[in-house]
Structure formats: structure tokens, C-alpha cells
Amino acid sequence: MSDIIQPDWPAPANVHAFTTTRNGPGASQLPYYRFNLGARCGDDPAAVARNRDTLRAHYALPGEPLWLHQVHGIDVVRDDGRRDEPMADASVTAETGSVLAVLTADCLPVLFCNQAGTEVAAAHAGWRGLAAGVLEETVAAMRSPATELMAWLGPAAGAARYEIGEDVRQAFLRHDAGSEAAFTPTRPGHYLIDLPAIARRRLAAVGVSRVYGGEFCTLADIRFYSHRREQRTGRMASLIWLA
């Protein structure tokens, strides 16, 4: 479908995953532009509720997604059937039909599965969560060995456009001096940051070497919501489940 982005990765056939775009069949009005799925960005709650209902029906999801109350942290929850939006930035499941979801509009969504197709996870990795270790915590929460996992990096602010300050750069360098290569100086005290490159380094360090995606830039591509580009805007959902 042209209104979603599907991972280009060698996942087992029973693993289903995609990221929505703002061009989906939604009810949101400007500046949220049609298919906003975020309930905490200022959109009409009724429109968001309709969009979430449409998401489930139009894309034939097997159940209501586990929506998270994301806080740019590192907490990971296992789907136990609750649908009260637990405060976390990642989720894990081994249950068939359990749909995991993370919301983004420049932050990096990362989807995981194992080679056997028996476990999946979804993580929201903005710079704060990425620096603090949300990807490492997600891998640790999965029951599969890291060497049996693969990950897909979804649409996020790209390395050619995402400018940050020295404080953000130092947050990463304190953890890994080798991540220096992911920063390109632009002007005094400011740098372009390559979030996908850092994500690959962090995942490789915990044993996840099969990492795909990372080529879609939310700042450059108007199919995607971008908080940096538009300030008041909606959120895409990256979803994954086992069939």
C-alpha cells in the first residue's frame, strides 16, 4: 500500500510490520493532516479515536494495538493484555495477534523480531531514549538471544538535516566515544546527528548485528510527520505483530 512503509528485511512470514504515513485514510484536520494516531499532540481526541479505529479496520490488524504513554525513557513492558497506555517507550510480546506500536514524528522507531518468528518488540528511540539505552533495554527484555534477533529502523530525522547542540553530542560520547563519527559539525556548538548510525552501534554492542532500514528522513519527506519541520503536527505509528 502506498500509504504505509513496510520493512525491507528478511523477517519470517508470520511477522507483520509497517509504519503509517500521514496520507492514510484519516479524519484529522490541519495541521494534523489526516492520519494522526497520536493522542497527546493537541489533535481533536474524537478524530484520533476515529483514526485508530480506521487503522485497525483498514489494515486488518488482529487486535487493538498496545499504545504506550511515551516519555523518552527506557522502560519496556511485556504485553499482558492491558490497553491503558502504560508509561513506557518499548514493548515486547511472544503472543500471536498482539499488536505492538510506537508513535514518532522525527524520533527513531525500531522494530525487532527473532529468526524463529516467535517474538517481536517495538521501541521509541528519540535522542534521549537512544542515549539512555532504550534499545539495549528492549533487547534485554526479549527472551531470544540477541544473536537471533534482527531490527528495522523506521522513518526518523535524517543525518543530512537533524541538527543538535553540544549537550546532545556529549550525552552520546559519555557512553561511547566511538560514536563521534555520527556527528558532523555545522556551526560552532552544533552538529548534524546520524541517529540510525548510532542505533546500529548500540545494537551491535549488545549482539544484534542484523539491522535494516534507516533510509527514510522525516524532515525531508512530506509523507511523514515531523515535529522539527512543522512544530504542531501528528504522529505516525510503527506496528508489529505475530500472525
Residue 182 lies in a domain: no
Output the pLDDT for position 219: 97
Output the pLDDT for position 1: 55
Domain at 221, CATH number: 3.60.140.10
Residue 8 lies in a domain: yes
46 Cβ neighbours under 8 A, 6+ residues apart: none
Residue 202 lies in a domain: no
Full residue range of the structural domain in which residue 238 is found: 4-159+213-242
Residue 187 lies in a domain: no
Residue 145 lies in a domain: yes
Closest CA to 35 of 20, 46, 45: 20
Residue 191 lies in a domain: no
Q: Please, what is the average pLDDT of the chain?
A: 96
> pLDDT tens across 129-177, in order?
999 999 999 999 999 999 999 999 999 999 999 999 999 999 999 999 9
Number of domains in the chain: 1
Residue 220 lies in a domain: yes
Q: Any idea which residue has 519470517 for its cell? A: 12
With a pLDDT cut of 70, the percent of the chain lying above it is 100
Residue 27 lies in a domain: yes
> pLDDT tens across 93-104, in order?
999 999 999 999
